[in-house]
């Protein structure tokens, strides 16, 4: 998938340019990789996302009873990926928190963030009797591997597992329960009726009404803010909370996450729905969000900031990054989401 014109050059962080050695390693989720070859920011994100993927595989194995874990495994690993989980690990490391959290707690919360996304994504694809049939059948690319009832219940099962997982990750000896409860509130709010669920509702409303006036750039902006924006903001804030960041740091990183999520959501929408004529609107939006995002990183350690800020730079959208991360775009990179699945 090529980056849209705007994202090549002006905002560019050339893929070939070496970035400084990352300082993001206090949680050491990828220690070996960082020490040996962490010469590019890209390597950091690839490494963290791989660690999260490994953690998810441990958490959601295919095991008996198969009627429970087979659909759960399938839906978790076919759901669209985002960078929100990796952002959680990164902000935890950014604020420098090593104690009193356990080394894996940020990875657990990162996994929980993907599970929430997977459950809501699954519910979004359910064939309900009153959902509109797409005018262009080619856009109906989502394959349902299981009956709708099974996918519905599996989504509910994944959601319950999220909170069980978070609760279980508490280490009473670590005195970290209050921080974990705060993370639970953050995730519940990000997912809830004024967060991602609201974004899904607004999106559905546009699908049903289909009015061009309703579904303009402003509408896309709102949906992206509620869906990807709230998810990324939550990931960034949770990482900072776990890492023991100050209230100011938590809020700045939450804002950073919100803008990054909006940009990623807008990019996804742009790639799946380019109808021409709206490029300027999207470009302006992304530029504004990028500028606001980078502003939120002021004051943090510059070495760390370079890796964090690579998320909003053009090089991140390079196909090779997509492919290596296996994130954002789902499976093996490339165009996988139809407009029905934005």
Tell whether residue 247 is a contact of its own copies (CB under 8 A): no
Binding to its own copies by CB under 8 A, coded x per residue (else -) over 207-226, reads: -x------------------
What whole-number distance in Å separates Cα of residue 148 and Cα of residue 304?
44
CA angle 58, 51, 96 (to 5 degrees): 125
> Closer to its own copies at the Cβ: 2 or 208?
208
In sequence order, which residues have a C-beta less than 8 Å from that of residue 335 and are 6 or more positions away? 1, 271, 272, 329
Choices 2-10, 161-169, 230-238, 312-320 (CB under 8 A): range interacting with its own copies: 161-169
The secondary structure of residue 3, as a DSSP letter, is P
Distance between CA atoms of residues 177 and 195, nearest Å:
24
CA-nearest of 76, 148, 78 to 114 is 76
- Using CB under 8 A as the binding rule, whether residue 127 contacts its own copies is answered as yes
Whichever of 199 and 333 has its CB closer to its own copies, that residue is 199
> Nearest distance from residue 222's CB to its own copies, in Å?
13
- Binder among 6, 182, 222, 326 for its own copies (CB under 8 A): 182
Residue nearer to its own copies on the CB measure, 2 or 185? 185
Considering only residues 135, 136, 193, 275, which one is a binding residue for its own copies as defined by CB under 8 A? Answer: 193
* Number of amino acids touching its own copies (CB under 8 A): 54
Report residue 283 CA to chain centroid gap.
21
What distance in Å separates the CA atoms of residue 284 and residue 266, rounded to the nearest whole number?
Answer: 11
- Least CB distance from residue 192 to its own copies, whole Å? 4
Q: 92: closest CA among 237, 256, 295, 296?
A: 237
The span from the CA of 120 to the CA of 116, in Å, is: 6
The Cα–Cα gap between 43 and 80 comes to 21
Interface residue with its own copies, options 56, 187, 231, 289 (CB under 8 A): 187
Integer Rg of the chain from CA: 19
Q: What are the φ and ψ backbone dihedral angles of 241, each rounded to 5 degrees?
A: -65, -50
Counting Cα atoms < 13 Å in the Cβ hemisphere of 235 gives: 31
Decide if residue 156 touches its own copies (CB under 8 A): yes
Q: Please report how close the Cβ of residue 300 comes to its own copies at its closest, in angstroms.
A: 27
Q: What minimum distance in Å lies between the beta carbon of 217 and its own copies?
A: 22
134 lies in the binding site for its own copies (CB under 8 A): no
- Binding part of the chain for its own copies, among 30-38, 200-208, 278-286, 332-340 by CB under 8 A, reads 200-208
60-89 residues in contact with its own copies (CB under 8 A) are 67-69, 72
Residues 6+ apart with CB under 8 A from 244: 95, 96, 97, 99, 100, 101, 179
Interacting residues with its own copies (CB under 8 A): 67-69, 72, 119-120, 123, 126-131, 147-150, 152-154, 156-157, 159-164, 166-168, 170, 172, 177-178, 180-182, 184-185, 187-189, 191-195, 197-198, 200-201, 204, 208
């Amino acid at each position: 998938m090529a980056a849209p014109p705007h994202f090549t050059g002006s905002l560019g962080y050339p893929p070939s340019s070496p970035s400084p050695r990352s300082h993001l390693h206090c949680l050491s989720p990828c220690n070996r990789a960082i020490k040996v070859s962490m010469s590019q920011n890209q390597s950091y994100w690839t490494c963290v996302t791989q660690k999260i993927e490994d953690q998810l595989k441990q958490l959601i194995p295919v095991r008996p009873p198969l009627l429970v874990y087979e659909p759960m495994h399938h839906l978790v690993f076919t759901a669209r990926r985002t960078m929100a989980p990796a952002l959680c690990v990164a902000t935890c490391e950014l604020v420098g928190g090593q104690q009193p959290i356990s080394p894996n707690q940020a990875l657990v919360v990162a996994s929980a963030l993907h599970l929430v996304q997977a459950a809501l994504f699954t519910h979004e694809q359910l064939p309900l009797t009153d959902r509109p049939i797409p005018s262009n059948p080619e856009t109906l690319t989502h394959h349902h591997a299981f009956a709708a009832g099974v996918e519905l219940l599996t989504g509910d099962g994944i959601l319950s597992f999220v909170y069980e997982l978070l609760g279980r990750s508490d280490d009473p000896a670590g005195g970290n329960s209050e921080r974990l409860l705060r993370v639970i509130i953050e995730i519940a709010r990000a997912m809830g009726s004024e967060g991602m669920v609201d974004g899904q509702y607004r999106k559905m409303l546009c699908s049903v009404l289909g009015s061009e006036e309703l579904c303009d750039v402003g509408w896309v902006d709102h949906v992206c803010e509620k869906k990807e924006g709230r998810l990324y903001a939550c990931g960034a804030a949770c990482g900072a909370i776990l890492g023991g960041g100050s209230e100011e740091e938590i809020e700045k990183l939450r804002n950073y996450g919100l803008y990054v999520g909006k940009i990623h959501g807008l990019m996804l929408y742009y790639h799946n729905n380019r109808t021409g004529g709206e490029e300027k609107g999207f470009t302006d939006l992304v530029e504004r969000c990028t500028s606001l995002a980078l502003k939120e990183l002021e004051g943090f350690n510059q070495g760390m900031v370079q890796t964090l800020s690579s998320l909003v730079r053009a090089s991140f959208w390079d196909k090779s990054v997509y492919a290596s991360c296996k994130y954002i775009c789902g499976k093996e990179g490339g165009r996988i989401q139809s407009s029905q699945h934005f």
